[in-house]
Each structure stands twice: as structure tokens, then as C-alpha cells.
Amino acid sequence: DNSVEKPVPDTWSRDPFALPYWADEDDGTEIQPVRVAGSEPERTGDKPEYKLSTILISGSNRLAVINYQVYWEGDKIGGEKISEITLDHVVLSDGSEERKLRIPQSQTKVTVESTEGK
């Protein structure tokens, strides 16, 4: 067996898995998560606030990614039903009211230049 274990090069300045110098493990401070995965979304008024990030439409299949979960048209999220998924929004209905979720759009300006004559 010609394998030889080589030590970590001396050029490494610190352990990449160690806490940063300003973090003191024994300071007694308990770290709390900002939000626990799978917890209820924040509420604004009486309706939960959802974040729509993706819409996928392929043939008769329509799905949306809301709060990092995949939902199909007709699924329930909270107390609301996903009644419609379109190219640019999702309609949620609780039986008495409907509301639309839209994918946030960036404010990037797009300029199209003609390539004719070049």
C-alpha cells in the first residue's frame, strides 16, 4: 500500500468548520431560529401571507411552488383552495373570497437592439 496520509497544509489559516473568532461558545447566549421550517406563514390581517415562487404548466398539468411546497390546482393550502393556476398568478379561494398570488418580478430593464445591417 503506497497511500500516505498527508497533514493539512500549513498555508491554511484556520479550520473552516470552527466558529469565527468573534463568536464565543461559552457566552451563555442561546441562538434561536428566525423561523422554523414547516411553521405557519406570517399572517397579515386574517389571511396567511404566502410566497409564490414558481408556476409550471405542461399540457393539462398545472402546479405552483408556494412557500417552498409544490401544490396542484385544486389542492388546499391553509383554509383556502387553489382554484386556478395561470401563467402569471395563482387564485386562492376560501369559499367567500378570492385572492391572487403573483410571482415577484424584478425591475430589470431589458433593451432589444436590432442586428440588421451589422
> Which amino acid appears at position 10 of this protein?
D
Backbone angles phi, psi at 90, to 5 degrees: -125, 135
- List CB contacts of 75: < 8 A, sequence separation 6 or more: 81, 82
Q: Per-domain residue ranges for the chain?
A: 45-102
Question: Taking the model in full, what pTM does it have?
Answer: 0.53
Note the pLDDT tens digit of each residue in 27-50.
566 656 555 455 455 455 678 899
- List CB contacts of 9: < 8 A, sequence separation 6 or more: none
Note the pLDDT tens digit of each residue in 64-103.
999 999 999 999 999 999 999 999 999 999 989 999 999 8
> Which amino acid appears at position 89 of this protein?
H
Q: Class for domain 45-102, per CATH?
A: mainly beta
Q: Are 55 and 37 in contact (CB under 8 A)?
A: no
